[in-house]
Amino acid sequence: MEQWRYIVTDAMSPAMNMAVDEAILQMHSEGKVPPTVRFYTWDPATLSIGYFQKAMKEINLEEVKRQGLGFVRRATGGRAVLHDQELTYSVIVSEEHPRMPSGVTEAYKIISLGLLHGFQNLGLEAEMVSLASEEEKEKYSSPGSSACFDSPSWYELVVEGKKVAGSAQTRQKGVILQHGSILLDMDVELLFSLLHFPSDRVKQRMMDSFRQKAVTVNEVSPRPVSLQEAIEAFSKGFATGLEVELVPSTLTDEEMALAEELAKTRYGTDEWNLRR
């Protein structure tokens, strides 16, 4: 069975978390490291926004600062995510890998099988939603706020009809980077306090809609799930879903050096984070 590298990193700053994902992508593109599955957490809790989001227009940056939260722009698309009581994963693999379909949506499906197995390992009735039909699109559509988890996208993971993991993907240098959030718990009020809305009425409507569309692991699990238990369930899930053996490892010195440089020159700068 093919072996992939498996890394669990300690809680890192928002800039370092994004920089490490990019550093792994860079090193994998140069053939210096194997395909990698990584799990990580954030210190401090952080609001991340998608590559194409308009920071000043969509995000209440003063409130982010007042709450003592981190802030970073991802290299991937999608909407705002509050990384707090959650496990974040990333999968980095060459576009040429025999298991990876060339289409973004189909590759997303293959990688997300790891999530599906992970939720099932926790005893949850998870399913993968394909928004192929108009009926499915309508069922999961939302009025659309700046928050991720508002509605599932193609091949999203849902439990009891509600979105339970949000993922985004980018492709650079012939390499796929997919990362996403597995929500254990979530402070919905806090998340929505960080976003701009035209009025309090609209904010309340969006929040109500959000609660109907998104759910956390601990809301649907019959017993509390710890971070460590989630890591074990999803590492087994990715091994099963990707049909690989995950070999525990650590970042190389070269990856760490590159990540520190990227954190300083890109992900830790206003030029990057406030660029739109």
* Residues 10, 160: Cα–Cα separation, whole Å: 32
Which residue in this structure is represented by tokens 């609209």?
202
Looking from the CA of 12 toward its CB, the CA atoms found within 13 Å total 22
Structure tokens, 224: 């509390």
Structure tokens, 86: 């959650």
* Residues 234, 273: Cα–Cα separation, whole Å: 30
Q: Which one from 93, 129, 148, 233 is the annotated catalytic residue?
A: 148
* Residues 118, 4: Cα–Cα separation, whole Å: 17
Active site residue 229: no
Task: Provide the edge-to-edge strand list for the sheet that holds 86-94.
Answer: 126-129, 156-159, 162-172, 175-183, 86-94, 36-40, 3-8, 245-248
* Residues 14, 116: Cα–Cα separation, whole Å: 26
Structure tokens, 190: 């806090």
Q: How many CB atoms lie within 10 A of CB 270?
A: 8
DSSP secondary structure, 141-176, as one string:
-----SBTTSS--TTEEEETTEEEEEEEEEEETTEE
Q: What are phi and psi of 145, to 5 degrees?
A: -105, -175
**Which among 78, 86, 19, 89 has a CA at the least distance from the CA of 48?**
78
Which residues participate in catalysis according to the annotation?
Answer: 148
